Amino acid sequence: MPVELTLHKAAEEVERGDLASVLRARQRLVGLVTSFPDRLDLRDRLAQVYRLLGNAAQAGRWSYLSEDRDETEVAAFERAYRTPVARLAALNWTGGERAAATPVARDRLVALQSAANVQLRAELLVTDDRDSSWGTNVLVLLGLVVALLCFVVGAVTLVMGAYRWLAG
């Protein structure tokens, strides 16, 4: 179905005003945003539907890149997605900041990407490079030596038993 026809159907469903129609409109718009993630107008319409449904976090999510956005909705979105990496993933933006149609959207994407990079660098610095301690490594090595000895003793016992049986 063409984008404009889908938008028209979604607008009609929103105008009906009943919950089932608004939910259908939301589904249509989610499908459009999934297909065209870099279109800010589709994101704005989806945010409007979430406003009708009373979901401030989702309204803030989809209006995050808009020039005119409600800061309480953005705050709700930021509470729901606490880290910059989670926010960036939730936006489902695929084209990078160059694909943004407006300077405001570009600036917000750059700022969010920078914050996500800082978060990831901090997490990498905290991560311990060693897999385990020396004590753990020594215990694993001793366990392997014992297992190898058991295998060798078992193999020798099996061969000796087979030789005695055959020799007879």
Report the pLDDT value the prediction gives residue 131, as an integer from 0 to 100.
66
Output DSSP code: residue 97. G
Dist CA 62 CA 137 (whole Å): 50
Kind plus residue range of the DSSP H or E element containing 65: none
Q: Do the beta carbons of residue 48 and residue 22 sit within 8 Å?
A: no
Predicted local confidence at residue 104, as pLDDT: 93
Residue 120: per-residue pLDDT: 92
Per-residue pLDDT, 125: 82
CB 49 within 8 A of CB 25: yes
Query: In the prediction, which pLDDT does 69 show?
Result: 92
Query: What is the distance between the terminal CA atoms of the chain, rounded to a whole angstrom?
Result: 85
Buried b (16+ CB within 10 A) or exposed e, 56-78: bbbbbbbbbbbeebeeebbebbb
Per-residue pLDDT, 98:
81
Q: Is the alpha carbon torsion for 47, 58, 64, 26 positive or negative?
A: negative
Per-position DSSP letters for 115-145, written without gaps between them: HHHHHHHHHHHHS-S-SS-HHHHHHHHHHHH
The rounded average pLDDT for each run of 10 residues, N- to C-terminus, in the chain (168 residues) is: 89 92 94 93 95 95 93 96 95 86 92 94 77 81 94 93 88
DSSP 39-52: -HHHHHHHHHHHHH
* pLDDT at position 128: 65
